[in-house]
Amino acid sequence: MDGKTDIQKSNPLVRFFDKQTVRTNPFGTNQSADRAYRRAERLAAALFLVTNHIPADEPLRVAIRSGAVRLLENVLSLRNEMRTESENVVACRASIRNEISLVRVLAVAGFLSIQNANTMIAGLDELGSFLNASQGSPLSDMYALSHEGLLDIREGHIKDTHILKDRIDIKDTAQMSDTPSLKKGIHVREEAILAVLRSGGELGIRDIAANLPEYSEKMIQRHLVDLIATGRVKKTGLKRWSRYSVVV
């Protein structure tokens, strides 16, 4: 039975997700919601995969697959609500917790190995933690204030009526390439990483990324290399077992 339910068989599905580029984007500049949905998409596929061998009329199979579809719908509904404690956010966390319970029952019933159940539960729980961390992420905002719109005020009226502009419309590349601004951005990211390490102690790259959903793991890794080189962070372990902590 373990062979049938081995989650390692999902590797072709992972390659399937990675190779395909979907241009339809309902999330706009809300990067946190986009990442959450992509995680939910893979989790839903894995939940369907590990229930393939279960009889079609088994209530657990029906409940888990229905929950996976509902989870996708709930995460998609968060595209404009990542920063607020809305009903959709609460419903999304509830659906994640419900799926965790169903996976546990699936393991107890003998339909899924304990190892694979733990893998699925960890993935679902990480998605829930990601949603929590995203609520404090500035990249969960759908709009950015226009600098010109805030400064150009005449006769008590705001000249620029589109003060709230979608970030996709901001094309001031000269400002983005400004060296002082770039250095400031690097400093902000490094300080954010240091703040996570101070509060969490010795952490792995995934633990750091879970607390900084606005930054990719590759970006965090690059900054960690610089922080280690400057003596502000120390690293223990190798490769996937690497842990990072602040140098006291």
- Tell me the pLDDT tens digit for each residue of 65-75: 999 999 999 88
DSSP one-letter string for the chain: -TTTT-GGGGHHHHHHHHH------TTTT-HHHHHHHHHHHHHHHHHHHHTTTS-TT-HHHHHHHHHHHHHHHHHHGGGG-TTS--HHHHHHHHHHHHHHHHHHHHHHTTSS-HHHHHHHHHHHHHHHHHHHHHTT-GGG-SEEE-HHHHH-EETTEES-S--EEEGGG---HHHHT-HHHHHHHHHHHHHHHHHHHHHH-SB-HHHHHHH-TTS-HHHHHHHHHHHHHTTSEEEES-GGG-EEEE--
What pLDDT is stored for residue 242 in this prediction? 87
Task: Rank 5-19, 66-80, 197-211 by mean pLDDT and report only the highest.
Answer: 66-80
- What CATH code would you report for 171-246? 1.10.10.10
- Overall average pLDDT of the 123-146 stretch: 65
Taking the domains of the chain in order of start, what are their residue ranges? 7-134, 171-246
In which band, very low, low, confident or very high, does the pLDDT at 192 lie, cut at 50, 70 and 90?
A: confident
Q: Write down the mean pLDDT value for the chain.
A: 75
Fold agreement between 7-134 and 171-246: no
- Overall average pLDDT of the 121-139 stretch: 75
Task: Rank 34-43, 208-217, 221-230, 233-242 by mean pLDDT and report only the highest.
Answer: 221-230
What pLDDT is stored for residue 15 in this prediction? 66
What pLDDT is stored for residue 144 in this prediction? 43
- Overall average pLDDT of the 177-198 stretch: 72
In which band, very low, low, confident or very high, does the pLDDT at 173 lie, cut at 50, 70 and 90?
A: very low
- What CATH code would you report for 7-134? 1.20.1440.60
